[in-house]
Copies of this chain bind each other. A is one copy, B any other.
Amino acid sequence: MQDDAIKPIRKLSQLYAYTSIHMHETVARKAGLSGTDHKYLGFLIQKGQMTAGELAQLTGLTTGAVTGLIDRFEKKKLVKRQFAEDDRRKVLIVPDTKKIMALMEPLYKEFRRKSEQLIASFSSRQLKVIENYFLKAIEIMQETTNQLNEK
């Protein structure tokens, strides 16, 4: 591999990450959420209901900040607070998946369609290459993050 091929692809991958953030932030704003609230709401959708403490751990926020986060979601009726049956100190955050989907889906619809079209335009051998790149690049970034956090 020639050295001159390295830089453009690194630049491109940076631009990719940046553009992605920008898009997600725009979507968030259209949905009446901040960028971080949107991200954390995604956690709730993906993992399903969890306690306030679990969300604090997952997000890295303090419990106080999570209280505020849930308050904002609750005010918009996107989640419900519910005491856990086994331990009534715990607050289960129950996402209203339907409502959240109804809010987000229209904003992502075109993006999803075009993405699927793009992916379909590659052969499965080509997709393997892309997938492979992603997997290894993700691993590298995680290693970097972990190493920095250790020091």
CB distance from A8 to the nearest CB of B (A): 7
In the assembled complex, the Cα of A111 lies from the Cα of B120 at a distance in Å of 31
Once the chains bind, are B115 and A10 in contact (CB under 8 Å)? yes
Total copies of this chain within the assembly = 2
Residues of chain A in range 105-124 having any CB-CB distance to chain B below 8 Å: 107, 110-111, 114-116, 118-124
**In the complex, which of the residues A122, A124, A140 has the most CB atoms of chain B within 10 Å of its own CB atom?**
A140
* Interface pick from A68-76, A81-89, A91-99, A131-139: A131-139
Interface size range of chain A in the complex: 35 or more
Interface of A is mostly: helix
A144 / chain B contacts, CB cutoff of 8 Å: 23, 26-27, 110-111, 114
User: In the complex, which of the residues B6, B133, B134, B149 contacts A26, with contact meaning CB atoms closer than 8 Å?
Assistant: B149
